[in-house]
Amino acid sequence: MTAAGVELTFVAYSSRAVHPFSESELEQLLVESRARNTASNISGLLLYRQEKFIQFLEGPTEHVLELMESIGRDDRHEDVTILWREQTTARRFAEWTMGYRTMREPAESHGFRSSFDDLEDPADIDNVVQAVRDLTIWFRVRSDAPLPR
């Protein structure tokens, strides 16, 4: 996608679906996202749980910012909130123009923190960053992709 060493922007944001998405609506969203991201050299991941979206986007800064503006105008979801943004030179999701997973609901927490919930903890950015890393590991394992070194 992007040559090594080129500065990229990584953004994690959350939003809420204005209504529960059907499988066909999610599929349509992914088709649109993947086409747009391919054209903009953007890679990333979409998670969906309980009518809530979490999305990780990474790519050239200008394209990522344009995309975030577009997402803010998309009337299929609301309450778009930036959770974390960083400048980076390495992609986490280079293999995916938009990876996707519907997340199972935790049946039992066993006393552990939830990475999904930690993403939206504005009081502790360390928890947010750790949750991004943990969900990246989870997604790559589920996708049979190599783990980051």
Partner 1 sequence: MDPEWSPVVWACAEDGFYVGNVDGEFVGYVDTHPDGHHAFDELAHPLGVFDSLAAAMARLSNHRGSRTDTASGVRG
Write the CB contacts of 39 (distance below 8 Å, at least 6 apart in sequence).
Answer: none
120 interacts with partner 1 by CB under 8 A: no
Q: Binder to partner 1 among 10, 55, 118, 128 (CB under 8 A)? A: 118
Helix (H) or strand (E) holding 130: helix 125-142
Cα–Cα dist 18/87, whole Å = 31
Measuring CA to CA, how many Å separate 93 from each of 69, 125, 143?
21, 21, 11
141 interacts with partner 1 by CB under 8 A: yes
Question: How many residues are given for the chain?
Answer: 149
Stretch touching partner 1 by CB under 8 A, among 18-26, 27-35, 89-97, 129-137: 129-137
Please state, as a whole number, how many other Cβ atoms lie within 10 Å of the Cβ of residue 110: 6
Q: Tell the smallest beta-carbon distance from residue 28 to partner 1 (Å).
A: 24
Q: Tell the smallest beta-carbon distance from residue 72 to partner 1 (Å).
A: 27
Residue 92-111 contact track with partner 1, rule CB under 8 A, x = bound: -----------xxxxxxxxx
Binding-site size for partner 1 (CB under 8 A) equals 27
Task: Judge whether 4 and 74 are in contact, CB under 8 Å.
Answer: no
Q: Tell the smallest beta-carbon distance from residue 39 to partner 1 (Å).
A: 31
Stretch touching partner 1 by CB under 8 A, among 14-22, 27-35, 64-72, 135-143: 135-143
